[in-house]
Amino acid sequence: MIDNEFYRGAAINLPPELTKLQQDSECVRAHLVSIRGGAMFLSPADAERLHGWLTDGVTPQEIILAIERAAEKRAQQLSKLPLTLAQAKRHLGKPTQSFALDTKNITAHPMSGIAQMLQKKAQSDKDRKTIDTLRTQLLALNKHEKDLVRQAMLLVSHFFIHRWAQLSLPERTALEEQAAHALGDLRALLTPKQLHNAIEERTRAMLREDFPYLSAATILAQVKE
């Protein structure tokens, strides 16, 4: 059983009565929210697009990879529009690069390489308890489960949602100031709401930069090996 203590009751262990389509949808929703921020639900347009993709056989892993690729491009080029599945569509099926993990002296569990990186990070991070919890949870996943990738990605998404929520006011203010500076001249073209959304998305991206090995591409690569 996965411990939810540090995720404020987030549904990491999805109710067994949910259909596979619902479980896949929740996995994508959590990942998009962890990257984009803002509302904790999908827009009607995104919900319809996601339902169409999943019923057409597109896997949640493929969609999540596309979301991450779209987010990376947005960080390089900046955008006035919020991150949506419509913007991720053009990245579906495109090649992606995973983080190069040191696979020496690791156990047979697919998540052991990532767990090693988390263990090292926890030694110097103030939120050590949460990082250790994620490490334990990843290693507790059944390596023979066919939905191992989805389970791991869901854990990681809720980890980042929690990490954002746990920022102190001074920490968040400092990150938001850096994010606003990174937006540069684009700030003058944004409405107050667009600016708020853009700053939050950029701030969340900065939080993820400390954990490059928690990308969907890296998780998928470990399971495929």
> What tens digit of pLDDT does each residue of 127-148 get?
899 999 999 999 999 888 888 9
Reported as a pLDDT band with limits 50, 70 and 90, residue 103 is low
**How much is the pLDDT for 97?**
80
Beta-carbon neighbour count of residue 199 at 10 Å?
Answer: 21
Question: What predicted TM-score, i.e. pTM, was given to this entire model?
Answer: 0.85
Rounded CA gap, 213 and 204, in Å?
16
Query: Which of 35-49, 87-101, 120-134, 147-161 is least confident?
Result: 87-101
Helix crossing, 20-36 with 60-77: angle to 10°? 10
User: CA separation (Å) from 12 to 31, 37, 136, 142, 143?
Assistant: 12, 18, 14, 15, 17
In 3D space, the residue among 122, 59, 124, 114 whose CA is nearest the CA of residue 92 turns out to be 59
Q: What is the mean pLDDT of residues 65-82?
A: 84
| Digit-coded pLDDT (tens) for 184-220 | 888 888 889 989 988 999 999 999 999 999 999 999 9
Tokens representing residue 137 in the block: 């949870």
Q: What is the mean pLDDT of the chain?
A: 86
In 3D space, the residue among 128, 136, 139 whose CA is nearest the CA of residue 222 turns out to be 139
Rounded CA gap, 69 and 160, in Å?
17
Reported as a pLDDT band with limits 50, 70 and 90, residue 108 is confident
